[in-house]
Amino acid sequence: MDISGFSLDLFSLKGRNAIVTGGNTGLGQAFTVALATAGANVLVPTTMDDGGETAALVERAGRRLVIVEEDLTAPAAPSRIVEQCVNAFGSVDILVNSAGINRLAPLEKFGRELWDPMVAVNLTAAFELGQEAALRMMPQGRGKIINIASLFSFLGGMSSPAYAATKHGIVGFTKAYADELGSHGIQVNAIAPGYFATPLTEATRANPSANQRIVDHIPAGRWGERADLMGALVFLASPASDYVNGHVLTVDGGYLVR
């Protein structure tokens, strides 16, 4: 395609079908709504009940949402999730590995009971679901896998070595799959969100000294809002990013440069 063929239609996801893990809460809900607004149908595997809020938002966008009750760490769950997406919509074209958990404890109290569940959800589930989705995407000759990393993919993680380890691992997994799947027309990238205003960060934002310490480190001078991530997600999910592969896109208001 030469430059005369450029069109904003490259950002459209009409006719595409997506899976978003953790897609009905927090940042994941914003990813689901962004994809639907751009034209995609979305399947969300989750064990969380949002009272129908996400379904209403997707319906407003004129797309289909299917929520399936699945524990990502259960045996064969990734295979079932991909199969359900294909059965519901006809294909799986986009996978967003958004689900994640974080547990905090000082080093002397951080044992395997904290480590193992975080590795299972944050890293192993993403790997297994990525593999299952890729096996469906390869015969199509196209697909997008977007893994949600973190600033802690680049930084340490006081009181949470498992979170830092899994988010570093997500970046390595992203690059390895990008290398292997690029020849099949599949792009694998990651988004590393900075500090965002969500229920998970409410306690920190309510603490004046902690809140100010974080804001002072962000050139944008504010916490991120979920809408700040939606354009980045659509770009990486759309044909507009077909030559972007193995990239980690930080959306952090400039945190890492200060």
Q: How far is CA 195 from CA 96, 137, 165, 166, in A?
A: 19, 32, 18, 18
In CATH terms, is domain 3-257 a member of 3.40.50.720?
Answer: yes
Is 163 known to be catalytic?
A: yes
Q: How many CB atoms lie within 10 A of CB 105?
A: 14
Instruction: Check 163, 177, 195, 255 and give the catalytic one.
Output: 163
Domain ranges of the chain: 3-257
Question: Among candidates 94, 115, 76, 95, which has minimal Cα distance to 239?
Answer: 94
Global pTM reads: 0.96
Q: What does the alpha-carbon distance between residue 103 and residue 114 come to, in Å, rounded to a whole number?
A: 7
Answer whether 102's CB lies under 8 Å from 160's CB: yes
- How many CA atoms does the CB half-sphere of 19 hold within 13 Å? 36
pLDDT one digit per residue (tens) for the chain, 258 residues: 689 889 999 999 999 999 999 999 999 999 999 999 999 999 999 999 999 999 999 999 999 999 999 999 999 999 999 999 999 999 999 999 999 999 999 999 999 999 999 999 999 999 999 999 999 999 999 999 999 999 999 999 889 999 999 999 999 999 999 999 999 999 999 999 999 998 888 989 999 999 999 999 999 999 999 999 999 999 999 999 999 999 999 999 999 999
